[in-house]
Amino acid sequence: MGYQIVGIDMELTERVKQEVAEKIGKLDKFLTGIPEETILIRVALSKNQRNHRWTDALVDLAMPGDQMLARGEASTPEHAVHLAVIELERQLNEHKQRAKPYV
């Protein structure tokens, strides 16, 4: 699983990048059965346009045949990514439910 972490209008420290990568790593358990080299996750962190003390996180998950997008907004970059990852987990659960055949 490849990932890209980008800061738009803001500098990202190594600590922030490591914490974001750790939070993204939690998505592995939802992506079983999909070849790892075909999954790409992009994270874009930026300052909120209306309130510059808040951070927006946009997490884009691209996998074969599907693409998912989630957004988080919080006071810290780590928490914003955490909220976006929770949203992606929900989307991945829905995707798995749709993929299951009815028995």
- Average pLDDT of the segment spanning 46-70: 91
Instruction: Provide the domain limits for residue 95.
Output: 2-99
Domain count, the chain: 1
Torsion-angle region of 65 (φ positive above 0: left; ψ -120 to 50: alpha; else: beta):
left
pLDDT score at 9: 84
Q: Model confidence at 102, in pLDDT bands (50, 70, 90)?
A: low
Query: What is the rounded radius of gyration, in angstroms, for the C-alpha atoms of the chain?
Result: 14
CATH number reported for the structural domain that contains residue 26 in this entry:
3.30.160.100
DSSP assigned state of 37? G
Asked whether the predicted pLDDT for residue 101 surpasses 80, the reply is: no
H or E element at residue 43? strand 40-47
Asked whether the predicted pLDDT for residue 53 surpasses 90, the reply is: no
- Average pLDDT of the segment spanning 44-62: 91
**Among residues of the chain, what percentage have pLDDT more than 90?**
59
